Amino acid sequence: MKKSQASNKPIEEIIADVTQKLKEGKELRMELPDGGLLHFDRPLPFLVVFRESENEDNRAVSLLVRSQTSFLIAPASSKPANLKALVHAIAKTISKKSGAFLIIELWAKKSKPKSGETSQAGDGESADVSTKAESAADFHIRAPSKVSYSSVDSLKKNLKNIRIEYKNATAEIALDDRHPPGLEKLLEADDLKELGALLIGLEIRPFYINPESGTPYPLLLRKLARELSTALKRTFFEFVRVQTNLEVSHFHMLGRRIMTPPAREIDAKLAKIDDSFSFLLLLTPINIQEAWLYFKENNYRKKPAFHYRLMSEDPEILKRELYNLSIDRVEDPTLEFMFREKRSELDKMLTLLTERGKPEFMPGSMQYYGPLDESVTKLAAELLTAIPSNSDSSESSIIMPEEFAVMARKEIDHYRSQYEHINAEVCVQDDIAGLLVTNGNLYIGTDARISTVRAEALIQHEVGTHILTYYNGRAQPLKLLYCGLPRYEELQEGLAVLSEYLVGGLTASRLRLLAARVITVQAIMRGAGFVETFHILHEDHGFDSMQAFTITMRVYRGGGLTKDAIYLKGLMRVLKWLEDGNELEPLLIGKIREDYVPLINELLYRRMLLPAPLSPRYLEFPGVRSKLKQLKKGSSVLDLLQG
């Protein structure tokens, strides 16, 4: 968003510029005289105002205000007449079109909170009115005295849903002055009546300030910015619904639609860092065939040495770039939260790469991929017991990697007919174990053994899930959707395995393999060595020597990559998602995890994200919809054996 320079213009010219842009329905970001800032994502019938106090640290309140769709920040020293004229002109311009206008002036309570101070108002209090000069409430709402407004009651309700540490915030309504102490009224009562405008004052007790240092608690302040933004949007929605002629069906539709330059910059730089290294390729041995032959020639008694690709980027330099990103400049609290989460994940990934082959690698992997839950290990044991080692003996017909590559390219061509920007490549390489999708490309190992029974299922796993979600994410303005939101892989693999089931290719032996991966992760976590784990798979569970080696290698690569436990765990989560009455499609918009869906929906309502261009071909297969309908009634992974 281009920022207009207006600091040297007279107020009359500023007002003329502002009203013209609002009439044209354009976004507006303008510097004001004396260092003020006016921001409108688009003309909407509300404005949050903050008059910065002299000799006060205004950064905390400024952060809260800047998270809003439309705001005005002005120094308290600004000429009152100029400020009144500007606000009056804004309200008049927008109210003329929408029928009404809401102004919320926000400020922090002057007195600093005392150590150990507690609020007196209870969580379940009714919307009563307090006229006390001093309020112990976290939020003190200053409202008009003669008329009852649903927006005021809505604001109180929404503020009380904000969580402060381990309790809900408290809020009181007072029929007193609606402006900060010591400052003139923003607009007179007659002006408000003429404009069809409502003015509410909102005083915040500075509970987010450390009383010892006088500086904010940074994590608490960020959380407050997110939750206050939601509370105010809900209040604006109530006002718009009742008082204006705008048609809005959800409060998120009143949020920002436009990414400011700092947000676009952070998103692009995070994506660039993510694209600069291929995490799984760097953790996949390049001497798999030689390692297998060495292991076999030594009667499966000597651990092979694995060699890895050289790193083209220095992880330490990439980390420095990560933490040079000024994410605090991002005003949108939802995007700011997602950016910080992604930075933290990239930090962990880069740490793992620096620890490749070292004892520290496995604890880092466990932290990155999460703990191994008892429910998953129990299910893995049940599957290995329920499925005999000679299951799916009919899987004797094998197709060659090049033939499978032809199938994959044909599938990609199908999706390219829906979305022309797909440029995924399919590569057959001798330094790949099995199948791997990275950066939207499919890599096939020359030693991959793909049965004809499983071929279609693997196409849907790799192309219909991993490549599809990559390009659905690529189609979005927010690059994080293709890079992957934090900890997306578990859900991704769960979706991919489910697609195998839906097309009839989730065989008993495949489930047995996923169970074996879990017990292999369990073995390395309890300290078992490579050779011991191989023999557990080969002798105790009946996997042939090549299978047992491959499973063991996948988990022991890098020093202990615990990723392989997430396939079964992810499948369990997807089944739970369906059982809870949800649809698959929201999970396919990009590389996400299910607890991000509310944020994704918010950004869709705000039109900051677009509908996904690609839909999986497997949803068109005969019987798939009926299978999904049955899964919504509740199914376990063991039930899929009957499917």
- Same domain, yes or no, for 217 and 274? no
365 domain-assigned: yes
When the pLDDT of each residue in the chain is averaged and rounded to a whole number, the result is 91
- Same domain, yes or no, for 484 and 589? yes
Give tens-digit pLDDT for 25-49.
Answer: 989 999 998 889 999 999 999 999 9
* pLDDT confidence tier of residue 54, bands split at 50, 70 and 90: confident
273 domain-assigned: yes
21 domain-assigned: yes
- Same domain, yes or no, for 214 and 316? no
Q: What percent of the chain has pLDDT over 70?
A: 93
Q: Is the pLDDT of residue 444 over 90?
A: yes
- Please give the pLDDT value at position 177: 86
Angle, helices 566-579 vs 508-525, to 10°: value is 120
- Same domain, yes or no, for 388 and 411? yes
φ and ψ at 601, to 5 degrees? Answer: -65, -40
Q: List the domain range (segments joined by +) for residue 495.
A: 262-286+305-642
Beta bridge partners of 398: 451
- Please give the pLDDT value at position 118: 44
253 domain-assigned: no
Query: Which is more confidently placed, 438 or 131?
Result: 438
Q: Is the pLDDT of residue 115 over 70?
A: no
Q: Is the pLDDT of residue 314 over 50?
A: yes
State which H helix or E strand residue 164 sits in: strand 163-164
* pLDDT confidence tier of residue 2, bands split at 50, 70 and 90: low
* pLDDT confidence tier of residue 508, bands split at 50, 70 and 90: very high
Q: Extract the tokens encoding 312.
A: 């083209």
596 domain-assigned: yes
Domain count of the chain? 2
Q: How many CB atoms lie within 10 A of CB 557?
A: 22
* pLDDT confidence tier of residue 449, bands split at 50, 70 and 90: confident
- Same domain, yes or no, for 419 and 531? yes
- Please give the pLDDT value at position 491: 97
Angle, helices 452-461 vs 489-502, to 10°: value is 140
Give tens-digit pLDDT for 250-261.
Answer: 999 999 999 999
Q: Is the pLDDT of residue 557 over 50?
A: yes
Q: Is the pLDDT of residue 176 over 80?
A: no
Q: Is the pLDDT of residue 116 over 50?
A: no
- Same domain, yes or no, for 377 and 237? no
Q: Which has the closest alpha carbon to 572: 485, 493, 633?
A: 493
The DSSP symbol for 209 reads: B
3-state secondary structure of 86: helix
175 domain-assigned: yes
- Same domain, yes or no, for 25 and 152? yes
- Same domain, yes or no, for 237 and 270? no
- Same domain, yes or no, for 17 and 160? yes
503 domain-assigned: yes
Q: Which CATH number fits the domain that encloses residue 205?
A: 3.40.630
Q: Report how far residue 454's alpha carbon sits from residue 435's, in angstroms, rounded to the nearest whole number.
A: 13
- Same domain, yes or no, for 201 and 268? no
R_g over Cα of the chain: 29
- Same domain, yes or no, for 240 and 183? yes
- Please give the pLDDT value at position 122: 36
**95-to-39, 43, 195, 200, 398 alpha-carbon distances in Å:** 17, 10, 7, 16, 71
- Same domain, yes or no, for 372 and 411? yes
254 domain-assigned: no
Mean pLDDT for the stretch of residues 496-519: 96
Give tens-digit pLDDT for 458-488.
Answer: 999 999 999 999 999 999 999 999 999 999 9
